[in-house]
Amino acid sequence: MRIPAKRAIVIGMDGASMELVRNMAAEGHMPNLAALMKQGGWRPMIGVFPTLTPPGWTALSTGSWPGTHRVMDFNIHKPGKRLDQTEWGINTRLSQSEYMWNTFERAGKMPILVKWEMSWPPTVKKGIQVEGTGPGVSNHHQIAGYHLFVAGKWAPRRLVAQRDPETLDPSALQTVREFDPVELVEARGWRNLPKSNKPVQEVELTIRPLARGRGDMNRGKKGTPKPYYGLVYAKGSGYDRVRICKSRNGTLMLTDLGVGEWSDWWLDGFEIDGKRGRGYVRTKLITLTKSADAFELFFPQIWPNSGYTKPLSVAKEIDENVGNFLQNPMRDALGLIDDDTYFELLEFHHQR
């Protein structure tokens, strides 16, 4: 007779129907998950109504139907309030039912939650938790959302599918506010310009802390803009590189990129509400034409090196032993960035 297991690992994937998972595993596209299914246990689950992330994950985490736990939607209307006054549903304080990890704690067990959706703010008392807000703009900890600096003939990518506003991340809606127009001009007042076969152009790249997060979920009220300085130059016959610098000194560079190249991550300082914090930055030169009449430089989400775990010391261990954390890889569901860039971000996310 086999001894009952004393530990269990539960894996949840938002929006992954069992039919899709089984087919992908059987066809060899998900070998790791196929191995887990073979070694462990799995079963289809009955969905809840409404079929949305907040009621579904809260039901999974509490064993209660939405009518019992009362987390009914992303935006929850409170009786007696105006219809346009809602509360963001990704919030454990709204649940009227006990979470299973708190039940485990009462039974003397040690729960560990790693990016378990709908589990923030933490309710664990003795357990360990790594992030856990959920999809979209519930980014309590991020220093800044993505920045997409564009100039010249750049244009948003066409979408061929119909957009359903009920299913979209509000932070990714493709309007003028969701990309960052900049201007390339002749470089002036610089020291130590790189050698170039064409006149060197400069571009100012301003990172806005707290940008592209839900206002009532941000980590602060006011972020201090942080400028980087770019040099667009021609190593070949046309413009083909950008150098990102801390100041207008070409030797104080953070990275130097050709088209399609990513920088390494660097840890930088930012200010929010007068307090200094540090976050990881990375960038990719997606587009640069030989005449520099089209320019596209992408910065993914800037995530801090601390503050997103309970206890706080866990973030330090992750930073030292695993590396930097990326909570929300940019979606290309709206065509904001190209597919290659999107999947490169996902690959980094998976490796973590």
pLDDT band per the 50, 70, 90 thresholds, residue 135: low
| Distance (Å) of CA 306 to CA 42, 128, 208, 313, 324 | 34, 15, 19, 8, 10
Is 16 domain-assigned?
Answer: no
pLDDT band per the 50, 70, 90 thresholds, residue 173: very low
228 and 329 together in one domain: yes
90 and 154 together in one domain: no
Is 243 domain-assigned?
Answer: yes
Q: Write down the pLDDT at residue 196.
A: 98
Return the minimum-mean-pLDDT range out of 22-31, 85-94, 214-223: 214-223
194 and 72 together in one domain: no
Is 61 domain-assigned?
Answer: yes
Order across the sheet with 147-152: list the strands: 180-181, 147-152, 294-299, 284-288
Is 167 domain-assigned?
Answer: no
Q: At what angle do helices 18-26 and 31-39 cross, to 10 degrees?
A: 110
Decide if pLDDT at 161 tops 80.
no
81 and 151 together in one domain: no
Decide if pLDDT at 159 tops 70.
no
Q: What's the whole-number mean pLDDT along residues 64-91?
A: 91
pLDDT band per the 50, 70, 90 thresholds, residue 17: confident
Whether 288 contacts 229, CB under 8 Å: no
The Cα 86–Cα 69 span in angstroms is: 17
Q: Write down the pLDDT at residue 165.
A: 52
Q: Write down the pLDDT at residue 131.
A: 92
Question: Could you tell me which residue, 178 or 132, shows the higher pLDDT?
Answer: 132
| Distance (Å) of CA 47 to CA 55, 59, 76, 133, 135 | 10, 9, 20, 21, 18
Tokens of 163: 């957009």
Q: Write down the pLDDT at residue 174.
A: 41
Number of C-beta neighbours around residue 198 at 10 A: 17
Q: Evaluate the CA torsion angle 157, 158, 161, 164 in order and state its sign.
A: positive
Dihedral angle of Cα 283, 289, 295, 300, to the nearest 10 degrees:
-20
Decide if pLDDT at 163 tops 60.
no
Q: Write down the pLDDT at residue 137.
A: 56
95 and 154 together in one domain: no
What's the number of domains the chain is made of?
Answer: 2
Residues of the chain above pLDDT 70, percent: 91
Q: Give the three-state DSSP class for 326.
A: coil
238 and 94 together in one domain: no
Structural domain of 124: 46-130
277 and 225 together in one domain: yes
CA 82 to chain CA centroid, Å, is: 32
82 and 154 together in one domain: no
Is 14 domain-assigned?
Answer: no
Residues of the chain above pLDDT 90, percent: 65
Decide if pLDDT at 323 tops 80.
yes
Question: Could you tell me which residue, 241 or 175, shows the higher pLDDT?
Answer: 241
179 and 102 together in one domain: no
121 and 204 together in one domain: no
Say what the pTM is.
0.88
Q: What's the whole-number mean pLDDT along residues 60-82?
A: 93
Decide if pLDDT at 63 tops 60.
yes
156 and 260 together in one domain: yes
Spatial neighbors of 300 by CB under 8 A, at least 6 apart, are 146, 282, 326, 329, 330, 345
Is 79 domain-assigned?
Answer: yes
109 and 156 together in one domain: no
For residue 129, list its beta bridge partners. 113, 310
